[in-house]
Chain A
């Protein structure tokens, strides 16, 4: 199993997205950064990532919806929510029941990010 992982990150905050992309590239990973949920679902199929970091609150389709579409396409998809906003209890529980890999709050600590990638990436 290679330590270089294919990581898809999805966030509508461009600065955050780019800084996280740079950080993960610097960690040696192959990273694709997307700014909305709809494109993320389409790109997942092309890119076939080992792990997805998905922002929850996004325009057009939110993180929950994007998550549901991704796991519909790939049952074994490893998706981790990145949240800065209050989570909807019902939607979050529903996502957890459907094999959501984890949840991390912004600002993200590098050691936690490393642990999650090590634990969940395919």
Chain B
């Protein structure tokens, strides 16, 4: 599920990046189109000025009654100049207001138009206009066209700049997308390789687990017979040798049983039998399978707490932690100190010892099949963690000195069987 979640996040990010790239490009392009529309409006000044000029010539040289047409042509030109500044809708095209950097050019056009308009009204109202006056009007008209041309050219340059920026932006987005895609693909491949390795490992565990479970179960019957017979024989012992050997067999049975429980508790196939039990008593029972070396000083808590638990399973946990401590101390002179305390609705147990576990191994200590010992399945501490968690408790380990701390609810009625 974690793998699927990561892939989903990565693909979503890629899609978001592609959409963002397109939106930025679309925004730039639409800005360019709008500026292109302004160019059209500015260019229209030339045509409209030309029309004014035609109407003037009509009035001056042909028909004096066409004066009204001059006013109409001027009005159209004026409207176009205002439209150029403030924008709006025109023939289905959207024209934005003129960008502020072109205000000076527009002001020059307006000034020139005002002069052009005034001089035309003076000229057409005269009976006989001189050829110089007509030429001056033409000159003003040409200036107006030139100023509009300057604005058109500047707008064109602006579009050109935007166009270059857009190409650059497209290249940048393309490079970013390619890089991110390559990174994503390598990341997905890495995750996939990790996932495949984990899957193979899990399958191996399952197969090993199934075999181990069958063997462990099969061993329980003969072990049961041995224990029954030894228990019976114990009652008829009549010598120290007999008694010692019976104890040896009993210890061996317990150790085998302990290993079997380790496998079965790792697979979690053993149901819980919850009953009130004394932690003190469970601790003492757990010591049955251990021969404590003389170089180790063991301290057991004097206080006791009764909790609702599966005592056989907790016995397994305690025996495992003590055995591990014995192995960690090895032949050095050392200690194992077990402390028990009451913390509201929890019983807190700590197993401290003077042994050494390399720092790099501390984090892997609860991983299945992790072992640095020649003996053992590597399932012991994993099974311990399983059992404590099934009691709704927690187990943590810290070094310097090595201490396993267990928190167990006193009343784990809701234990996860």
Please give the residue numbers on chain A whose beta carbons come within 8 Å of chain B beta carbons, in ascending order.
Answer: 13, 15-16, 19-20, 22-23, 26, 84-87, 89, 92, 102-110, 112
Contact = CB atoms under 8 A, between A and B. Distances in A.
A84 B269 contact: no
B224 A110 contact: no
Interface stretch (B126-134, B198-206, B214-222, B322-330): B214-222
Contact of A107 (B218, B253, B264): B253
A105 B270 contact: yes
Contacts of B222: 15-16
Interface of B: 213, 217-218, 220-229, 231-232, 235, 253, 257, 264, 269-271, 273, 312
A89 B221 CA distance: 21
A23 B257 contact: no
B195 to A, nearest CB: 29
Nearest to A15: B225
Contacts of B213: 86
Nearest to A26: B232
Nearest to A111: B285
Contacts, number: 66
A87 B269 contact: yes
B216 to A, nearest CB: 9
A84 B231 contact: no
A85 B217 contact: yes
A23 B231 CA distance: 7
17 contacts: A16-B228, A19-B232, A20-B228, A22-B228, A23-B232, A26-B232, A84-B221, A86-B264, A87-B269, A87-B270, A92-B271, A104-B273, A105-B220, A107-B220, A107-B227, A107-B257, A108-B227
A102 B273 contact: yes
Contacts of B270: 87, 105
Contacts of B221: 13, 16, 84, 106
Contacts of A13: 221, 224-225
A86 B217 contact: yes
Residue among B218, B232, B235 with max Cβ neighbours from chain A (10 Å): B232
Contact of B224 (A16, A22, A112): A16
Given A23-B231, A26-B235, A107-B253, 4 more contacts: A15-B222, A16-B228, A102-B273, A108-B224
Contacts of B223: 106-107
Q: Which 6 A-B pairs have the closest CB atoms?
A: A84-B220, A106-B224, A19-B228, A107-B227, A86-B269, A107-B224
A22 B271 contact: no
A102 B225 CA distance: 20
Contacts of B232: 19, 22-23, 26
A87 B271 contact: yes
Contacts of A112: 312
A108 B224 CA distance: 6
Contacts of B225: 13, 15-16, 19
A23 B232 CA distance: 6
A15 B225 CA distance: 6
Contacts of A105: 220, 270, 312
A89 B270 CA distance: 10
A110 B213 CA distance: 25
Nearest to B288: A109
Contacts of B226: 107
Nearest to A81: B271
Contacts of B312: 105, 112
A86 B269 CA distance: 6
A13 B224 CA distance: 10
A102 B310 CA distance: 12
A85 B260 CA distance: 11
Contacts of A85: 217, 220
Contacts of B273: 102-104
A31 B294 CA distance: 45
A103 B228 CA distance: 17
Nearest to B219: A84
